[in-house]
């Protein structure tokens, strides 16, 4: 099924300007990096609107083509639209920091251990962690079984469009977070990755969905803390690892370092580079201006996005 243009309210995260290249536009509510049509240059009226919106942090109403990464139309939203936009996405209180990272310098033998290395403040908010890898795999398999490309019926609705990884990670992650915390009763944080410097982008090859390359400026997935009894350690001694649940990219839970490294696929982009990452409480939904994050406490935006993307495909 072809991707139809979609219209919605967005806030501008950044405008990238590069000599001889079209401006690139990043929106907090979307993963892809967008450009304007060729007849709309950096001095156009539309470009000016984005520059102003970035400065004022006010939302714009845009029509986007995700497959082509194009902005097709821009209008000013009504005051009631803006009010509703802000009402359904209250900010996350006291978000954790966003920090720089060099994925190539990660030492996986240290990095993924929660107690030894990953001392994020949000881990103090919930203590019921996943007791084994087997349970983490059970959670992964349950979520993966809700994929919209499968025939159904689904144990939980709406289905989750893992087959469409061009956009919507925020909704997929939030639906999985709801399942993990309500059905399985375990803690669930979110891990965000960002490509925010120069021409950087997160780049992955969608091997599960046709093998095409997909690029984003950010990505998010549920993060589980998983207790493991490792071979060679004294009986009763265990360590807690950070593992990511991302059926759009993988077939099983993976270490946090593995998840980050997969987003630097140089064969998909010469600018593939994770510049920053952050671990936030599971209630975080999308990034916001100045290191903030939004929430979706009623899951209204989550469900609308899942339904909108349910019939779309990546490649």
Range of the domain at 41: 6-88
**145, burial (CB in 10 Å: exposed 0-12, middle 13-18, buried 19+):** middle
User: What are the beta bridge partners of residue 204?
Assistant: 214
Residue 200 lies in a domain: yes
Could you tell me the mean pLDDT of each successive run of 10 residues in the chain, 315 residues long? 80 90 94 88 78 94 95 94 94 97 96 93 96 97 98 96 98 98 98 96 97 98 92 76 98 98 98 98 97 97 97 97
Give me 137's structure tokens. Answer: 């795999």
How far is the C-alpha of 302 from the C-alpha of 79, rounded, in Å?
A: 23
Note whether 251 and 110 are same-domain residues. Answer: yes
In a domain, 13, yes or no: yes
Enumerate residues 6+ apart whose C-beta is below 8 A from 56.
none
pLDDT for res 3: 61
Please indicate, yes or no, whether residues 120 and 83 belong to a single structural domain of this protein: no
42 Cα distance to chain centroid = 28
CATH of the domain at 271: 3.10.620.30
Q: Left if phi > 0, otherwise alpha if psi is -120 to 50, otherwise beta: which for 210? A: left
Q: Give pLDDT, residue 236.
A: 66
Alpha carbon 39 to chain centroid, angstroms? 31
Of the three residues 62, 88, 114, the one that is the final residue of a domain is: 88
**Positive/negative CA dihedral, 42, 46, 50, 53:** positive
* Cα 232 from Cα 97, distance rounded (Å): 35
Per-residue pLDDT of 160-196, as tens digits, reads: 999 999 999 999 999 999 999 999 999 999 999 999 9
Q: Indicate the residue among 30, 60, 88 that finishes a domain.
A: 88
The pLDDT value given to residue 1: 46
Residue 305 and residue 272 in one domain = yes
Same domain, 31 and 126: no
Whether 93 is in a domain gets the answer no
Residue 225 in domain? yes
Residue 1 inside a domain? The answer is: no
Cβ-based burial of 174 (10 A; exposed 0-12, middle 13-18, buried ≥19): buried
Question: Do residues 167 and 75 share a domain?
Answer: no
Termini Cα distance of the chain: 10
Would you say residue 137 lies in a domain? yes
Q: What is the pLDDT of residue 139?
A: 98
* Number of separate domains in the chain: 2
Q: Does one domain contain both 60 and 19?
A: yes
């Amino acid at each position: 099924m072809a991707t139809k243009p979609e219209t919605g309210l967005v806030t501008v995260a950044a405008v990238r300007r590069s000599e001889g290249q079209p401006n690139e536009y990043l929106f907090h509510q979307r993963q892809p990096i967008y450009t304007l049509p060729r007849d709309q240059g950096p001095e156009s009226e539309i470009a000016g609107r984005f520059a102003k919106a970035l400065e004022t942090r006010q939302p714009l109403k845009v029509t986007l083509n995700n497959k082509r990464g194009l902005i097709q139309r821009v209008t000013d939203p009504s005051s009631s639209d803006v009010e509703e936009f802000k009402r359904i996405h209250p900010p996350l209180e006291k978000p954790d920091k966003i920090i720089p990272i060099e994925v190539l310098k990660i030492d996986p033998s240290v990095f993924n251990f929660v107690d030894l290395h990953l001392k994020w403040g949000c881990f103090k908010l919930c203590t019921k962690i996943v007791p084994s890898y087997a349970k983490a795999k059970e959670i992964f398999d349950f979520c993966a079984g809700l994929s919209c490309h499968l025939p159904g019926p689904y144990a939980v609705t709406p289905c989750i469009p893992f087959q469409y990884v061009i956009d919507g990670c925020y909704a997929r992650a939030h639906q999985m977070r709801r399942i993990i915390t309500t059905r399985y009763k375990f803690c669930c944080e979110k891990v965000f990755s960002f490509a925010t410097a120069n021409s950087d982008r997160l780049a992955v090859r969608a091997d599960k969905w046709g093998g095409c390359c997909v690029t984003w400026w950010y990505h998010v997935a549920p993060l589980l803390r998983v207790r493991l009894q490792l071979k060679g350690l004294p009986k009763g001694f265990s360590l807690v690892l950070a593992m990511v649940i991302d059926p759009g990219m993988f077939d099983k839970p993976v270490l946090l370092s593995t998840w980050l490294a997969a987003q630097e696929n140089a064969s998909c982009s010469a600018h593939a580079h994770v510049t920053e990452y952050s671990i936030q409480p599971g209630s975080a939904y999308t990034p916001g201006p100045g290191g903030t994050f939004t929430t979706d406490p009623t899951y209204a935006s989550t469900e609308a996005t899942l339904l909108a993307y349910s019939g779309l495909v990546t490649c």
